[in-house]
Amino acid sequence: MENISIIILFLFVMFTLLGTGVWVGLSLVGVAWVGMELFTTRPVGDVMITTVWSASSSWTLTALPLFIWMGEILYRTRLSEDMFRGLAPWMSRFPGGLVHTNIVGCTVFAAVSGSSAATLTTVGKMSIPELRRRDYPEHMVIGTLAGAATLGLMIPPSLTLIVYGVTINESIKKLFFAGVFPGLVLALMFMTYVAIYSKVAKNWNPIIDERMSFMDKLRNSRFLIPVICLILVVIGSMFFGFATATEAAAFGVLGALILAALQGTLNWGSFSSSLMGATRTSAMIALILAGAAFLSLSMGFTGLPRGLANLIAGWDLSRFELLMVLLIFYIILGMFLDGISSVVLTMAVVEPMIRDAGIDLIWFGIFIVVVVEMAQITPPIGFNLFVLQGMTGHEMSFIAKAGLPMFFIMVLMVFVLIMFPELATWLPDNIRQSGAG
């Protein structure tokens, strides 16, 4: 009963602060402050300073702003146009046609971005006009883009996986590689849905481009070389043990700058705007992480995480039942908070449950990311929905309905992960190690 009272108190303070427009990071600090004042006699200010500094000075966190900056640089290049020109000739003859460029383009850009919003904006600014011009069904154009852009959260380098790894003190490199196969399987599931829909839908009658010869397709594929080289530099350097996640991020930034320079898009304006964009995003995430660390310490003094873990252990849930409870919990939470906030806010309570249940923390990171991906396309706070509304001018209800099949495919992906956990665990168990991170 005491635990329930503490939860109600924390939730009341949290939603009061969020409802009045206080930033998420500062709201977490506010809740933690109340908890420290009520449940300990230690000086709150000293504890907060020490905790915030410890949470902010982790070397692993260095990878975060670097990967964000890499995505910001690439967003300002002609990468989306080049990717479309390189992919379109190969995708056009698949069942579903050029809609597959949304999915494959998002999968490719996710491997150099780490952000769902950056992936969506970069791929969408080129693919939406092209697919509309060819008269593909609007709801399929919007829906596949909304769903496939969430792959930016899973396929390395993933910002959400960096935050998760820092929060629970797990290897970022292992988490990155855990996301590779599940990300590719999810992309394949999206493509399968598009192929099936194109065969059964009555309104599928796009304008087909003239057939290209095989040699012409190969010539167009040269536009994919820059992004493929960048992927090999970032992911390959980690896989073969040449670099840690942080070092790979530095290589990625250098590669992105070289690519922008070769394309003629690197100037002082684009350089400074990319740097400021990365600084703003990194500062926002750092504030959330610092607030979450302080809240975790505060909750530790209340005994709430262990108490809840013992309570749920008393329910004698199987692993599957526990995962289903967490699935529903994170879907509901994701309707009101962004993915990174959802992860850092809940890990202090959820981590003891997962450890006690004997669930692999690397595997659980991918489980969390899939569920967080769903939150990106669920109203009322689904961030991808807002981005697409700004890009297309459609009503939110139309975009949410268009993304609904992708949501159900992600739910199916959760069950695939549960049935085949090796999808997430095999690669990290077999990568070469290179230092920390």
Q: pLDDT tens digits for 29-83?
A: 888 888 888 877 778 787 788 877 777 776 767 777 888 888 888 878 877 778 7
Quote the pLDDT of residue 375.
78
pLDDT at 203 over 60: yes
Number of structural domains in the chain: 1
What is the rounded distance in angstroms from the CA atom of residue 399 to the CA atom of residue 392? 9
Q: Is residue 236 part of a domain?
A: yes
pLDDT at 358 over 90: no
pLDDT at 405 over 60: yes
Q: Is residue 40 part of a domain?
A: no
pLDDT at 348 over 80: no
Query: pLDDT tens digits for 73-113?
Result: 887 887 777 877 888 888 877 888 888 888 988 888 888 77
Query: pLDDT tens digits for 304-316?
Result: 666 666 666 667 7
Quote the pLDDT of residue 1.
52
Q: What is the mean pLDDT of residues 173-182?
A: 90
What burial letters (b/e) apply to 255-287, b meaning 16+ CB within 10 Å?
A: bbbbbbeeeebbeeebbeebeebbeebbebbbb
Quote the pLDDT of residue 60.
67
Q: Is residue 436 part of a domain?
A: no
Composition of the chain by helix, strand, coil, percent to 5: 80, 0, 20
Structural contact between residues 154 and 183, judged by C-beta atoms closer than 8 angstroms: yes
Structural contact between residues 373 and 150, judged by C-beta atoms closer than 8 angstroms: yes
Q: How many CB atoms lie within 10 A of CB 344?
A: 27
Higher-pLDDT residue of 361, 156 = 361
Higher-pLDDT residue of 348, 395 = 395
DSSP state of 153: G
Q: Is residue 1 part of a domain?
A: no
Structural contact between residues 171 and 66, judged by C-beta atoms closer than 8 angstroms: no
Q: State the residue range of the domain holding 84.
A: 60-429
Average pLDDT of the residues of the chain: 82
What value does the CA radius of gyration of the chain take, rounded to a whole number of Å?
22
What is the rounded distance in angstroms from the CA atom of residue 199 to the CA atom of residue 196? 5
Q: What is the mean pLDDT of residues 421-433?
A: 81
Q: What is the mean pLDDT of residues 213-233?
A: 82
Quote the pLDDT of residue 262.
85
pLDDT at 420 over 90: yes
Residue located via tokens 């003190």? 169
What is the rounded distance in angstroms from the CA atom of residue 376 to the CA atom of residue 89? 30
pTM: 0.81
Q: Is residue 372 part of a domain?
A: yes
Q: What is the mean pLDDT of residues 373-382?
A: 75
pLDDT at 437 over 60: no
Q: Is residue 2 part of a domain?
A: no
Q: How confident is the model at residue 436 (pLDDT cuts 50, 70, 90)?
A: very low
Q: Is residue 8 part of a domain?
A: no
pLDDT at 413 over 90: yes
Angle at 261 between CA 119 and CA 176, to 5 degrees: 35
Question: Could you tell me what percent of the chain has a pLDDT over 70?
Answer: 92
Quote the pLDDT of residue 167.
82
Structural contact between residues 76 and 115, judged by C-beta atoms closer than 8 angstroms: no
The packing angle between helices 268-302 and 339-356, to 10°, is 40
Question: Could you tell me what percent of the chain has a pLDDT over 90?
Answer: 12
Highest mean pLDDT: which of 157-171, 202-216, 253-267, 405-419? 405-419
What is the rounded distance in angstroms from the CA atom of residue 426 to the CA atom of residue 372? 22
What is the rounded distance in angstroms from the CA atom of residue 402 to the CA atom of residue 372? 18
pLDDT at 184 over 90: yes
pLDDT at 274 over 50: yes
Q: How confident is the model at residue 115 (pLDDT cuts 50, 70, 90)?
A: confident
Higher-pLDDT residue of 416, 242 = 416
Quote the pLDDT of residue 306.
64
Quote the pLDDT of residue 434.
45
Q: How confident is the model at residue 435 (pLDDT cuts 50, 70, 90)?
A: very low
CA torsion, points 237, 242, 245, 250, in degrees to nearest 10? -80
Q: Is residue 80 part of a domain?
A: yes
